[in-house]
Amino acid sequence: MNALCLAATSFMQPELPAASSDDDIVRAAVAGDRKAFETLYRRHADRVYGAVLRLAAFDHARAEDLTQEAFVRAWQKLEGFRFESAFGTWVYRLAVNVALMSIRARNADPVNIVADDQLPDITDTDNPVRAFEREELEQAIAALPPRARAVLVLHDVEGWKHEEIAVELSMAVGSSKAQLHRARGLLRRALGDKP
């Protein structure tokens, strides 16, 4: 379809009421309404981006790419959406999967444990203020090994249960708990807390 046809198709589609439910908007998007999908994107992109950003070690460019990839996949799979959960939950899970697949594709060994002395030292001894500011916390989370970072973000930030994380990351529940414990310990060390 050329750009002129797309513009004409887009122009002829009616505006959706602002109060439309996600389910109504999904149905419109499945029927081919691109403006409806754009509405879904606008409603859910920030939450998706936030989760993906943390999983991507606060690499903004990578997080933007992963967010776009997640919504492209959502568009491609939209016909298969069964309305068993909220669209926001569905697209969020899809985006987390995209981010985790990206971690795996970059050959980040999901069970590799990085020794404490191999982590970058991000504490600033010249700064009298302790490292609890957001930027320093983001740097500390970004420095975590990929699997530990994924467990920490999914559990502590996104509120997933260990059973859900275990299924998503193909690990035992005990391994998820161990990775979370390790991630928290590494964060405390990086932020300058004493054990």
Report d(CA 55, CA 107) in Å as an integer: 15
Task: Tell me if 20-107 shares its fold with 111-195.
Answer: no
Q: Under CATH, what is the fold of the domain 20-107?
A: Rna Polymerase Sigma Factor; Chain: A (1.10.1740)
Cβ pair 191, 137 in contact under 8 A: yes
Q: End-to-end distance of the chain based on CA atoms, in angstroms? A: 62
Give residue limits of the domains in the chain.
20-107, 111-195
- CATH code for the domain defined by 111-195: 1.10.10.10
Per-residue pLDDT, 18: 58
Q: Is 142 exposed, middle or buried (0-12, 13-18, 19+ CB in 10 A)?
A: middle
CA angle 39, 69, 158 (to 5 degrees): 80
The structure tokens listed for 26 are 């999904």
Mean pLDDT by 10 residues, the chain (195 residues): 40 55 94 94 95 90 95 95 92 92 67 40 42 74 91 91 91 95 92 66
Report d(CA 10, CA 152) in Å as an integer: 42
CB atoms within 10 A of CB 165: 23
Per DSSP, 56 falls in state: T
Report d(CA 80, CA 76) in Å as an integer: 9
Burial of 42-80, coded b for 16+ CB within 10 Å and e otherwise, reads: eebbeebbbbbbbbbbbeeebbeebbebbbeebeeebee
Angle of helix 34-55 relative to helix 87-105, nearest 10 degrees, comes to: 50
